Structure 1
Amino acid sequence: MAGAGALGLYYGAHLARAGHDVHFLVRTGRAAVLARGIRVKGPAEKLHLKKVQVYGATEEIGPCDLVIVALKATANEALKKLLPPLLGPTTLVLTLQNGLGVEEPVAEVAGPDRVIGALCYIAAERKEPGVVECRFPGVMTIGKFGKPAGERTHAVATMFSRAGVKCEAQDNLEEMRWRKLVWNVPFNGIAIAAGGVTTDVIMADDGLRTLARRVMEEVVEAAAKFGHEIPRSFVDLQFERTAKMGGYRPSSLIDFEEGRELELEEIWGEPVRRAKSVGAPVPRMEMLYWLIRHRLAARKPAKRKR
């Protein structure tokens, strides 16, 4: 498990509990995870993984059957160093990253035939090293990069399902990416652009809720230009799921408020560019992109912890 943020902790803990030999690459807070293990908290479940295999470098882990990339897309340059020690002759690499164009950097290092992408519809937040709060476990969908899902992709989906994670394999990974953007573009974007608001605030405000729906519709229309038909019922489903999250801080808002890099290009920039390249008008998406860029430029650097 390359990365010990909310997704890495949540999914890694479930796989380890199910009996899989999970190795965690933890770059910060390693001592805390070693001492206290991993805790998953939430209304639907409580999980405490007391003994965790934690490493500070991938060279200490060695080749694996499956490598799960749970790093932010902003850290993809590091994959050139992190991935090679983990790759054996039959290794698969599953990336949990958000946005468009995130499989390509993994494929450049590992080779395209090894790469699987995942879309994680989950509301989870890392509260401290080794501790993740999950408000909504949701579902995971996975697909093969550039090809329909094959036997090994389905086997990975089955592995997650047996570990207690709702997971299914689908054949069109690019369409899955556009579907995830239906939620990510508006809710991550509005949370930042509106001054740091949680999902319940967006849902309760008529103007922000309407804006979120209009942005979703732009994403759906852009996807259709690439042959990906997303039904209106899918848009309605996003609002139903979001209503169950309560006062959830989207991951991009957390990154923004804590002074970390945002997946600006992957979640907003690249979708806008692709939409405009095929003549799809996306004025609200583009507005969010530029507003977030402006807020990033004006953001004060985070204070370093001593």
Structure 2
Amino acid sequence: MADSWTFGSVAVVGAGAVGLYYGARLAAAGEDVRFLMRSDHDVVKYEGIRIDSVAGDLHLQEVNALRTTEEIGPVDLVIVAWKATANGHLAALLPPLLHEGTQVLTLQNGLGNCEQLAGIVGADRVLGALCFVCLNRLSPGYVSHTAGGRISVGDYIKDGRGRAEEIARRFGAAKIPTEAVPSLAVAQWTKLVWNIPFNGLAIADGGVTTEDLLATDESEAEIRGLMAEVIAAARAQGLDLDDALIDVNVERTRPMGPYRPSSMIDFIEGREVEFEAIWGEPLRRAKAAGVAVPMLERLADRIRARVSSVR
């Protein structure tokens, strides 16, 4: 049995909604959290991090915000919380954060992120997590949390040290509902059941909310059809996803009201969309597994066209 693993210091790379929310919760619980911040640095050092949350508001006045990873220095756990579109910077940013036992946890959407990290730090250091949460960054250091918050975390490669279980325990102590999952791949595809249709159609239809997408029978049928294709693609890879996920995801979205998915916000605000992680890589893996996904192919084409039209 390998020695158990624990952590003392944490670096959060990515000061968007996800990094601010989960990092602030950990810091408020007494964890040693260091935030990598650049454009937001001065505002956050002066005003702190503010969270308007259905789980309880939070104002973290004292924030350990630093401008470079060299200033942060080696830590026990690195949390990568920015968009996958920024992953090209990881090879330069991560090395100053690493010591011999440092582990790297990605909270990013989609597929391929763990593989990118493994290529930089080694597969044995990598964990992945999926955040089932509605968050929006309203301004520097200011986040709105309107629903959810649960995290599923798993090892990229299991090593018997209980890394995912320790993260789940410590996040749970910080009032972040967290579960260690036996299969990271199942958790990743489970989240894609929601992300592929809702994020994708919100962009393809020109920047609409989840409420708009569920407003007509035709649109809801398209959502359900896309979800069925995602589940079929997962099953073809030996991942056990239940058809009940379709109803569960649709019904949990209705109470969100006019929620703006994060990819739609990136699109309407002119930022690069995480196309490859959320639609491109899943589509490639579905095809490699021999699964026909015509609705996903059409959606991917529509997203490409929509994004290209505003460049």
Relative to the length of structure 2, the TM-score reads 0.94
What secondary structure is seen at the aligned counterpart in 1 of 2:76? strand
Alignment partner of 1:158 out of 169, 178, 190: 169
User: In 2, Cα distance between the equivalents of 1:20 and 1:192?
Assistant: 37
Output the CA distance in 2 between the equivalents of 1:129 and 1:25. Answer: 13
* Structure 1 position 220 matched with structure 2 position 231: yes
What is the correspondence of 1:135-284 to structure 2 with a 5 Å cutoff?
135-147=146-158, 150-284=161-295
Partner deviation per Cα, 1:90-133 (whole Å, 9 max, x = no partner): 11100011111110111111111110000000010100000000
**Structure 2 portions without partners, runs of 5+:** 1-11
Work out whether 1:111 is the aligned partner of 2:122.
Answer: yes
Residue in structure 2 matched with residue 57 of structure 1 by the alignment: 68
Tell me, yes or no, if the aligned pair for 1:149 and 1:170 is still in contact at 8 Å: no
**In the TM superposition, what is the alpha-carbon distance from 1:244 to its structure 2 partner?**
2.5
The question of whether the paired residues in 2 share the 8 Å contact of 1:93 and 1:115 is answered with yes
Q: Which moved more, 1:121-130 or 1:141-150?
A: 141-150
In structure 1, which of residues 33, 42, 57 is the aligned counterpart of residue 53 of structure 2?
Answer: 42
Q: Which residue of 1 aligns with 2:90?
A: 79
Q: What amino acid maps onto 2:19 in structure 1?
A: G
Equivalent residue letter for 2:252 = R
Tell me, yes or no, if structure 1 residue 90 matches structure 2 residue 101. yes
Does 2:135 match 1:124? yes
- SS of the residue corresponding to residue 121 of structure 1 reads strand
Are the counterparts in 2 of residues 103 and 117 from structure 1 also a CA contact under 8 Å?
yes
1:169 maps to a residue whose letter is A
Give the 3 Å change call, closer, same or farther, for CA 150–190 of structure 1 in structure 2: farther
Name the CA shift for 1:117/1:149 in 2 (closer, same or farther; >3 Å).
Answer: farther
User: Distance in 2 between the 1:60 and 1:9 partners?
Assistant: 19
Structure 2 residue aligned with 1:9? 20
**Length-normalised TM-score, structure 1:** 0.95
Q: Percent of pairs identical after alignment?
A: 50
Deviation of 1:194 after TM superposition, in Å, equals: 1.0
- Higher mean C-alpha deviation, range 182-191 or range 202-211: 202-211
CA distance in 1, matches of 2:250, 2:160: 29
Q: Structure 1's 271 and 67: CA in aligned 2 closer, same or farther, altered over 3 A?
A: same
What is the CA–CA distance in structure 1 between the aligned matches of 2:161 and 2:221, rounded to whole Å? 40
Residue in structure 2 matched with residue 287 of structure 1 by the alignment: 298
**What's the secondary structure of 1:40's corresponding residue?**
strand
What letter matches 2:253 in structure 1?
T
The C-alpha deviation readout for 1:54-102, integer Å capped at 9, x for no partner, is 1111000000011000111111110011100000111110001111111
Distance 1:236 1:281, change over 3 A: same
Task: Answer whether contact 1:149 1:169 (CA < 8 A) is retained.
Answer: no
1:27 deviation in Å? Answer: 2.3
Give the stretch that moved more between structures: 35-44 or 122-131: 35-44
Q: Name the CA shift for 1:11/1:149 in 2 (closer, same or farther; >3 Å).
A: farther
Q: How far did residue 205 of structure 1 move?
A: 2.0
Once the two structures are superposed, what CA deviation does each residue of 1:248-285 show, in whole Å capped at 9, x if it has no partner? 11010011111111110110011111111121111111
Does structure 2 conserve the Cα–Cα contact (< 8 Å) formed by 1:218 and 1:285? Answer: yes
Mark the runs of 5 or more structure 1 residues left unpaired by the alignment.
301-306
For the residues of structure 2 that align with 1:221 and 1:73, how far apart are their CA atoms? Answer: 25
Residues in 1 aligned to 2:220 and 2:79: alpha-carbon distance in whole angstroms: 34
Q: Distance in 1 between matches of 2:113 and 2:14?
A: 16
Shift of the alpha carbon at 1:148? 7.1
RMSD: 1.2
Q: What is the distance in 2 between the residues matched to 1:137 and 1:149? A: 30
